[in-house]
Amino acid sequence: MSGKLFLVPTPIGNLEDLTFRGLRILKEVDLILAEDTRTSGKLCKHYNIETPMQSFHLHNEHQKTEHFINEIVNGKNLALITDAGTPGISDPGYLLVKSCIENSIVVECLPGATAFVPALVVSGLPSHEFLFVGFLPQKKGRQTKLEKLSKEERTVIMYESPHKILSTLEQIIKIFGAERKVSLSREISKLYEETIRGTAEEVFKQISDKPIKGEIVLLIEGL
């Protein structure tokens, strides 16, 4: 009898954000697939999870997907986790899920931590309709993408790194306009969690004179 694939969200900062169900699944499955076994090893140690673990990340998912599909077909239950948050959301997971579906394997995704949801809720921007775009292109197509998003009527949500946030805000001021409202959330669920709200120009000025650390969720008001 074929096994099952579980997608288990992991804490994005505060270790207490792992659900009871997520903990049970990670202890019961035959194998955990982790984006970085060193990072996930800390989580497992904290919760006394002794399940065997193997790496599954952006650079090996094409090579390893078929192997893990065979493991599930042969009856093993596998759990996929990433360093933080829900697998498949700007993290590995899509290819494995797609292959499971193609092979009639049951995929079960647990609800849990995802950075953009709390950032949206506390932003003060309209949350009834939104567009999540993940990370912007690194170089080629970046400006074209922003120009397209500037015409979006829904709240736009993106992830950004600390060392690029100032240049991204500069582009937003230029393309969207200095008065377009934005909300910047960082270190969500951690000790120094912070949300900065205002116009694109106000937020840029507020963070331009101090170092910004931690992964960032940036939200932009729609038209």
CATH architecture of 116-220: 2-Layer Sandwich (3.30)
DSSP-assigned letters across all residues of the chain: ---EEEE--B-SS-GGGS-HHHHHHHHHSSEEEES-HHHHHHHHHHTT----EEE--TTTHHHHHHHHHHHHHTT--EEEE-SSB-TTSSSS-HHHHHHHHHTT-EEEE-----THHHHHHTT-S--SSEEEEEEPPSSTTHHHHHHHHTT-SSEEEEEE-TTTHHHHHHHHHHHT-TT-EEEEEESTTSTT-EEEEEEHHHHHHHHHTS---S-EEEEE---
Residues forming CATH 3.30.950.10 domain(s) in the chain: 116-220
The model's confidence at residue 81, banded by pLDDT at 50, 70 and 90, is very high
Q: Look at residue 209 in the predicted model and tell me its pLDDT.
A: 86
Q: Look at residue 210 in the predicted model and tell me its pLDDT.
A: 83
The model's confidence at residue 1, banded by pLDDT at 50, 70 and 90, is confident
Residues forming CATH 3.40.1010.10 domain(s) in the chain: 4-109
Q: Is the pLDDT of residue 72 over 90?
A: yes
Report the CATH superfamily, name and number, of domain 4-109: Tetrapyrrole methylase, N-terminal domain (3.40.1010.10)
pLDDT, tens digit (0-9, with 9 covering 90-100), for 90-129: 999 999 999 999 999 999 999 999 999 999 999 999 999 9
- pTM for the complete prediction? 0.91
Q: Is the pLDDT of residue 50 over 90?
A: yes
Q: Look at residue 138 in the predicted model and tell me its pLDDT.
A: 85
pLDDT mean over 171-183: 98
Q: Is the pLDDT of residue 10 over 90?
A: yes
